[in-house]
C-alpha cells in the first residue's frame, strides 16, 4: 500500500542485545517500538525488523543494509547506548552517518532526567545516512519499553497537556527535508510539528 503522493514509508527497527539475540530472554524492544508506531502513525507504513548482538561491525552492517538496500526512510534502534564496554550503538551509528543530529540525543536525555538522574549516562544520538538517491534518519533509543514510549511521545500531565515534547514530533519534518514520504501522526499520541508552509491539506 502506498501513500497518495509518493512511496510507502519504510521503517527499520533494530533491537541490539547480546542476551535477547542469543535467546536468553525475549526481546522487548521491537514489540515496544511496533506498539508505539501503530498508535502514533496514521500514514501507511511497512516495518523491517532486526534483532542483533552488541557487536559494532554487525550493527554498522545492519544499519547500512536497512538504509541502502531495504531503503528505509527511518531506522529506530533500541539498546546498547550506555557506558559499558559492550555498549557500542552510538559509535556504530556515527560511523555510518553522513550528518550527525545531536538535538535528538539532547532531548532524549532531557526527557529521561525527569525520571532518573542516571539519564546523563545515556549516549543516544541520531544521524542521517545519505546516498546518491536516498537518505535515512537513524535514531538511537533507550532499551526499556517504558522509556521508549516516553522518549518518542514525551510527557503529559493528568489532563493530557504536554509537559515535555517527545522527539518524534520532529521526525516527520526531518524526513520531509531528506526527501522521504510525508508522515502524519495521531495528535493524541504525538503531534507532528511542521512550519505552516510545509503542512499539506488533509
The DSSP result for 39-57, as a single string, is HHB-S-EEEEEEEE-S-HH
Structural domain count, the chain: 1
pLDDT at position 24 is 86
pLDDT along the chain (202 residues), means of 10: 63 95 92 98 98 97 98 97 96 98 95 92 97 97 93 86 89 98 95 94 80
Domain region containing 93: 9-193
Residues 55-86: b if buried by 16+ CB within 10 A, e if exposed: beebbbebbbebbeeebbbbbbbbbbbbeeee
Q: Is residue 94, in this structure, part of any structural domain at all? A: yes
Q: Is residue 201 assigned to a domain? A: no
- Residue 199 domain flag: no
CATH number reported for the structural domain that contains residue 44 in this entry: 3.40.980.10
- On whether residue 160 sits in a domain, the answer given is yes
Q: Residue 2 falls within a domain, yes or no?
A: no
In this structure, is residue 4 part of a structural domain?
no
Amino acid at each position: 500500500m502506498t501513500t497518495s503522493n509518493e512511496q510507502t514509508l519504510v521503517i527499520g527497527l533494530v533491537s541490539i542485545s547480546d542476551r535477547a539475540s542469543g535467546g536468553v530472554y525475549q526481546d522487548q524492544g521491537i514489540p515496544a517500538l511496533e506498539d508505539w508506531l501503530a498508535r502514533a502513525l496514521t500514514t501507511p507504513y511497512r516495518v523491517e525488523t532486526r534483532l542483533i548482538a552488541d557487536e559494532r561491525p554487525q550493527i554498522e552492517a545492519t544499519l547500512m543494509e536497512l538504509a541502502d538496500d531495504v531503503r528505509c526512510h527511518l531506522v529506530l534502534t533500541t539498546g546498547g547506548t550506555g557506558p559499558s564496554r559492550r555498549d557500542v550503538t552510538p559509535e556504530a551509528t556515527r560511523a555510518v552517518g553522513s550528518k550527525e543530529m545531536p538535538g535528538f540525543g539532547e532531548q532524549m536525555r532531557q526527557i529521561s532526567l525527569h525520571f532518573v538522574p542516571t539519564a546523563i549516562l545515556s549516549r543516544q544520538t541520531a544521524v542521517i545516512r545519505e546516498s546518491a538517491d536516498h537518505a535515512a534518519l537513524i535514531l538511537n533509543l533507550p532499551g526499556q519499553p517504558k522509556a521508549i514510549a516516553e522518549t518518542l511521545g514525551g510527557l503529559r500531565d493528568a489532563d493530557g497537556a504536554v509537559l515535555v515534547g517527545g522527539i518524534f514530533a520532529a521526525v516527520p519534518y526531518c524526513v520531509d527535508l531528506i526527501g522521504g514520504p510525508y508522515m502524519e501522526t495521531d495528535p493524541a499520541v504525538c503531534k507532528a510539528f511542521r512550519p505552516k508552509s510545509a503542512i499539506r491539506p488533509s
